[in-house]
Chain A
């Protein structure tokens, strides 16, 4: 009987004796337990392995008589006899049932009693040990109540709005907070004082404030953008600005007495390209601001004009622009109120502009009714306020009238100061005056110190000395030039000296008490304008139509210019006007193409008289007067000698 898969063994293998040894080793016990030793940080084999194999376990309930447990049991058997003394019904019943049973059978009855008595026994006998619960007849008296189904009810409120707040406490924040507090307090005080009357104002102000804060306007950066334009300009023309401030031509030392003009900024305005510069004037209060009047000297082509203000700080674009319908021929800025500008037009009107106002219209303008000139106005000059504290200015025009205009409230009131008349001379030329009896005034200037004294230059070449108080007669006449007198100017320092220039190529310097000129200079070309310098009584500059600027210093050289410089392309542009800056050593020159160029005067042109060593150099107008006087006296003596 072999199973199918029994191993087939050979005879030899069948007879082989295989010894089987009975050892006490547990074959299932592992022989190579290794434990990790933290001390040696490696695995170490344990030496002895437990070989015990447990096959069967049964726990018994027999107790040894002398052991602890049996003693305890015996003590418990003694209990029922003691508790008979207690007087509770339940217990007595139990005891009665229990007491006859005890002698019969200890085992079962004991157990029954023990079951009923665990609590009472435990509570009554303090001395005896607590009873151990019955292991056999133990029933748990637990009961499960009905558990209500749990329901979750929650509600979520909206989280309170949160915002992050952070701030720094700097010195200035504290300062600002205090200032605000102060202002609030002051406002409260004011409100209390003027409560009823100011209510409406406050309301309207509040409305204004609200609208301002809401708008996202670019106009808020208005101020900054203006200054930025200047900054950008300064960056671009950085070298010019540096030259203006600091450059002093050192080579003047080697040039004997000659000087040069260093070109600085060039000012031009796109819309004024076709116009020529007809007048220049520096502003007294803001010495970097100057006004340029634009118009046309071409009498056949007359078009519009422009009044433009430039600042040296921004050569790219004008500060103020006022376009006008007629060409402007002259302008003057008030000495004290430098926002008032008087201009004279080609069509004979005069107007006053107020720079403080927003509009482009003049504040006042004369019309045909209010006595405007019938011919071009060649010169205007502000006068000192009259007795009623009204501002007034004078104008001279080709119609031969010198008119004084007073700004009374909203209008211009005119008064004829003088009517120029020609005494027997025949006026010729294309610009002849309409009425043969009146001469055409082309320029005038008021004396610096003597208020009523003024000079008028005419088209015929004569200069009349006049007084505001005499309206029909002249105080004196000077046969000055053979052609129209383009400019006549009093010296800033010497009260008797004045200068005149004309299209007859000459510049003449006069002493008002002498009818012949003190000095005469021939400049080879029609002289457009001449100007005294504000820093010296003997320095003056002139511009000619061939594009040259001449600077003379009579104390250095009485016959020639110490500087002759061509500043524009010859034959193309003519220079029309020149002005010295009141404080800076620069001059501005206007030409007939609408450009204004500024130049810096080199040191030789600005020489002050040198004092002897050890003496203080005297300064002030007295020195200047003395300088001039010295020159004049040299000239006068030979004259007086000959005459």
Chain B
């Protein structure tokens, strides 16, 4: 438990990381470093997207499963990891 906390703290303080969000199984963000409205937006949208991506991967081959989803946009990179119904989201500004 502590280890995970520490890891998340390190990620948050890493260079270029804008914010992290942890969403639980019901879609409620349980830990976030961004403001409420942004968090709610990210959590809602990315949940659907992750489900869709997972559905796509599994539909093609049911024995396969989604591990990570990385969305690179002009401004940042959004990394999503669905794990045991939880969702971990990290938004980073990759220094280029």
Contacts and interface: CB of A to CB of B under 8 A. Distances in A.
Does B bind A? yes
Interface of A: 168, 170-172, 174-176, 216-229, 231-233, 235-236, 238, 316-317
Contacts of A222: 3-4, 7
A175 B94 contact: no
Which of B4, B22, B59, B81 has the most chain A CB atoms inside 10 A of its CB?
A: B4
A220 B86 contact: yes
Contacts of B88: 221, 224-225, 228
22 contacts: A171-B58, A171-B60, A175-B58, A176-B62, A216-B30, A217-B1, A218-B8, A218-B30, A219-B1, A219-B4, A222-B3, A222-B4, A222-B7, A224-B81, A226-B7, A229-B10, A232-B16, A235-B16, A236-B94, A238-B96, A316-B10, A317-B10
In the A-B complex, the 4 residue pairs with the smallest Cβ-Cβ separation, listed nearest first, are A172-B58, A175-B62, A224-B81, A172-B62
A168 B52 CA distance: 12
A222 B3 CA distance: 8
Contacts of B30: 216, 218
Given A223-B83, A232-B16, 10 more contacts: A216-B30, A218-B4, A219-B1, A220-B83, A221-B81, A224-B81, A225-B11, A227-B68, A231-B68, A233-B14
A218 B59 contact: no
A235 B92 contact: yes
Contacts of B92: 232, 235-236
A381 to B, nearest CB: 32
A256 to B, nearest CB: 36
Interface in B24-81: 24, 30-31, 55, 58-60, 62-63, 68, 70, 77, 79, 81
A316 B62 contact: no
A218 B62 contact: no
A235 B77 contact: yes
Contacts of B17: 232
Contact of A235 (B8, B68, B94): B94
Given A218-B31, A235-B94, A225 B8 contact: yes
Contacts of A174: 62
B24 A225 contact: no
B33 to A, nearest CB: 13
B68 A221 contact: no
Nearest to B62: A175
B18 to A, nearest CB: 11
A400 B90 CA distance: 55
A171 B11 contact: no
Contact of A236 (B1, B7, B15, B22): B15
Contacts of B95: 235-236
A233 B77 CA distance: 13
A218 B58 contact: no
Contacts of A224: 68, 81, 83, 88
A218 B16 CA distance: 23
Contacts of A220: 83-86
Contacts of A225: 4, 7-8, 11, 88
A232 B11 contact: yes
Residue with the greatest number of chain A CB neighbours at <10 A, chosen from B5, B8, B88: B88
Contacts of A227: 68, 81
Contact of A228 (B11, B16, B60, B96): B11
Contacts of B7: 222, 225-226, 229
A325 to B, nearest CB: 23
Contacts of B84: 220
Nearest to B28: A216
Contacts of A316: 10, 14
Q: Which of A168, A170, A223, A225 has the most CB of B within 10 A?
A: A225
A231 B17 CA distance: 11
Contacts of B62: 171-172, 174-176
A221 B90 contact: no
B15 A231 contact: no
Contacts of B4: 218-219, 221-222, 225
Contacts of B10: 229, 316-317
A236 B59 contact: no
